A and B are shown apart, each in its own frame.
Chain A
């Protein structure tokens, strides 16, 4: 007698059905598509969709289908030519309100998308694109912080009328990186009073009195926690900056993520021109707050070609001129954080300033309540220019006023910029945060993969998978007959379950990932072979067929568990240590071991029990 509890059948069926559902979207493939989103980040509606449809129809672009997905309009086409024509049309007509990006749209039916079923995204090696790995200079980030403190210290001491000789950076022991400041004082100075004043700059700092070559001095050393916080902030800010700029590039499904302790990875599918992209991403930008000059006429100044004394002529985002006072209230260096928020007056951006900025802000706003203040966005870029055949780095600067707001009260270290839509608030806070890269970045690895190579890779990977699986199927069926066919069904189920798990996790599929799936097929066979060989052995020893099946599964279990544990250890080690494609291989391998355990132990047993189970007597097993 051979039986299996009913709940195990239910479980196997349920898992298989869910697996099929999640794996299904991967079968449909993709169409070239155009993604269109509002620059204001307002969601697209049917009206906008209709107008874009009409626009494309007028240009004789055939739309295969279109839909709105998370606020963005996705328009799919039959071929790349239509896609490119559509992009040009949309960019030419709607570029001031909309942003478009080339991408792919899954051919899966819309109900799948609506319930959140999506195909695995393809890695760059399978679709072509640009891969950039940036190294963030964290020492530079700490250096910038110290520089800002140095200026604050000097200013505080001058204002408090306390004499000092110099403020210099001091390093950790033995040529390490600077992690503190030393204020040297003239003979007879009161270091206690100096510490009192400096503490007002930032109360979290630790000060100690010391003496150097007879002269008194006050030292400030950053604690490891402060350094760590600064490094984290720099890394996160740089990531935000890069994300923001990548979004401006009009690339669909870009990836910007932290990697390791001091790296940022940028993946841009479909992008080929690395020089242009690197130029854009590596831009150094900052911002300033200035008072608006309300007495003089900006238009006259623009026409006259020179700004009145004490003012500077700027342009707003819409191109109209505006006059700002020459004195800078706050510079980007004095900004410690910017986040989007909601206030009583609607969406807002919360800005935090360091002590120096806060002090200046307090004094300025106290005297100027009710007057307008402007936020100026300054962008410096470095590009290579050829001068007389020589490549020279040229810095260029562009400045524009991104926001003008009325000062409603006296601000300290924290204030809010209001009068924005929520989309604008988010953009502004992003832009403010991306205002200056908190630490210098440098490209340490770069890979450009041509689109045809990507297609070639995916074709080859899929063909290897198909042929490999087919060979295994035929071999198993020849060698184990009915049991072999059961193993084949189980292998197929295993590939489906693995694909489903990977799709659920939105794991990016790369070529090594496909290799992992192929290898998993080989490993999954192992469990079945262990069981079947055991059953054959029992049969040889004269055990009845049904008892042999039971004994085969029971006795093979510990060997299967054991042999999978070791492969699992290797897979996990790869997962933890590997990055990029190696990690994708490790994820597939690890999950593959899990699904193969499930499918061969439970699935295979359920199927065999279904065939040979029940109370009837089985004369012989078809096991080859």
Chain B
């Protein structure tokens, strides 16, 4: 996937910072188009709040690691670049872990082991390797913001649908009347696969329609 993105970037003469931002949000959305980072997407999207928190945590790590990788890109030798990127990513994941604990113990309890697992989210490493290590800080920031917000958007799409159908609520506020029978399967792992499949179907439907036009 990452090679496709680099080629795409190279094909255009000089993509503006706004282009870098928009591409992550929609055209190259990390979840719906590139299908990256599926572990947290499926596991922590059982409620809208968890999905948003996870998405923001990942976006923060992506942004900070992109900034650091871009600013150190001439200093890191090629041979140790992956090890250096992982070290940088792991540092920001640890920082996010402490920050979430300091914000809310309950939220930390809900996200559990998935915060630490941001380290192995292929989205972050792929942006560091494919983009930040080859571009300047400004563009890397725009790329990280676009990709990060695209990830937050995708997780929220999943989390909102799963919480609405599985619990009858949105952000813990009751949406459906009391007689609504919750679809418990939607907040179980299987519900994550169903919801993701439906969103991918919708995205591909729009993409094929656009291609026909």
Q: Does A associate with B in a complex?
A: no
Binding site for B on A (CB under 8 A): none
Binding site for A on B (CB under 8 A): none
